[in-house]
Structure 1
Amino acid sequence: MNENRDELPRGCSAISRDHEFTVRAGRQYANDEPGVIFGMNMPEVIVEPCSRVTVNFVNEDAVRHQWMVHGLPRYLYPGGMFHIEAMGGQQQSGTFIVPAEDRNYLIHCDMAQHMEKGMRAQLKVGSGSATLWAVPGVSDAFQRASYLPRWAFAGIGFAVLLAFGATMTLRGPHRQ
């Protein structure tokens, strides 16, 4: 869906290079992390800016899978997406042209719970922008961000000590 073989993104004067990749999807590509049951043989695809990319998507499972890229220019790709969908045991191909900017794009399967269960990758254009989190074989399984500010733990510790001190003071001397 949203295939684009010829229209150049803004900032590209010509196709810099043609790439062709065969991406295989299936349970056999899942890594050994807990909860990961699906995977792709290519967790990272690296191309030059302004490249034309052809993806041959081979689904080796019995269930439907997708290879979807997010964040592409909306003036070329409706919704900013390019995607290929293949039924179980089938394969599909599609072509798109990446923008001129160095950036990382999310690749995933949009079927319910497939991304959460391991079908996540990244498209790195040029030198990229930042490695995406939770890309199997590339980055940590989740982003470890605390919901509390850093000083909160010190404040909680101080409050516990203060409460303990107040309890001991109000209790008075220990009698036998």
Structure 2
Amino acid sequence: MKKLSVMSIALWVLFIQPVAAMTMNHDGMFMDEKSMIMNANENNLPKDCPKISETVNLTIRAGHKHATKFNGKMFAFDQQEWKVKPCAKITITFINDDQIRHQLMVHGLPGYLYPHGMFHLELYGQGQLTASLIVPSMKKTYLVHCEIPQHMEKGMKAQLKVDGGDVDIPSIPGISAAVREDVYPVHWTNATWIILLTCVVMGCLAALLFLLLARKESV
């Protein structure tokens, strides 16, 4: 009996406890070694919703390749805007196409249902996860973004409009004007002019040399 107890403790320490530690699920947060979900809501209706008006399934991808259509951006979602009805239940499948960490966060939700007014999906690398939320009936535009430093500033920003939304959020790539445009000034000094002229001359000489060599080979 004593040997059995010792063996049980050993099994717990070596196998069961490490596996349990890898997965955490409490206070509205689920987290494992690959992902995190905060404040998912499958069934609880907002106070102003008598019932769910519609069920919407969204697949949202995040990554560098989705930013190539926007000048000066490094990261983006594959879409920048989604529209749903008041009291809609939205099931989001979030896909990270990069090997780095990305988030999908919805801000401005009612705090009595979503602590800190936030719905949060996060992947630490390539992969996908799915969770749901139910939006209130209020006509409103919600910010959707990645909160990893500089990811939103570099393009990973979008908006979710309920009942058509009440406004366009600034600086949504392809939708609204930036609050502060990216500016890349060139400080023209004598040195920069010399460098520019040198490059032009060298380019012309290289092209001329290429033409002369091509003509010589053809003769």
TM interval, short-chain normalised: 0.7 to 0.9
Give the alignment partner of residue 70 of structure 2, picking from 32, 51, 70. 32
Q: Deviations over 1:15-48 (max 9, x none)?
A: 00000000000111113322x1000111001100
TM-score, scaled to structure 2: 0.64
RMSD: 1.1
Q: Secondary structure at the match of 1:82?
A: strand
Q: CA deviation at 1:143?
A: 5.6
Q: Deviations over 1:96-120 (max 9, x none)?
A: 0001101000000011110001000
Q: Which letter maps to 2:123?
A: A
Q: State the percentage of identical aligned residues.
A: 46
Partner of 1:82: 119
Q: CA deviation at 1:14?
A: 0.2
- Judged with a 3 Å threshold, the aligned counterparts in structure 2 of structure 1 residues 133 and 91 are, in CA distance, closer, same or farther, namely same
Partner of 2:28: none
Partner of 1:157: none
Higher relative contact order (CA 8 A, sep 6+): 1
Alignment of 1:29-108 (within 5 A): 29-30=66-67, 31-34=69-72, 36-108=73-145
Partner of 1:165: none
Give the alignment partner of residue 167 of structure 2, picking from 126, 130, 137. 130
Q: Secondary structure at the match of 2:112?
A: coil
Q: CA deviation at 1:93?
A: 0.9
Q: Deviations over 1:74-98 (max 9, x none)?
A: 0000000001001211111110000
Q: Deviations over 1:116-161 (max 9, x none)?
A: 01000000000211010111111112268xxxxxxxxxxxxxxxxx
TM-score, scaled to structure 1: 0.79
Q: Which letter maps to 1:32?
A: F
Provide the rounded CA distance (Å) in 1 between the counterparts of 2:101 and 2:134.
25
**Structure 1 or 2: more helix by fraction:** 2
Do the aligned residues in 1 keep the contact of 2:93 with 2:129 (CA within 8 Å)? yes
Partner of 1:154: none
Please say which structure displays the higher CA radius of gyration.
Answer: 2
Give the alignment partner of residue 113 of structure 1, picking from 105, 128, 150. 150
Do the aligned residues in 2 keep the contact of 1:9 with 1:99 (CA within 8 Å)? yes
Do the aligned residues in 2 keep the contact of 1:10 with 1:100 (CA within 8 Å)? no
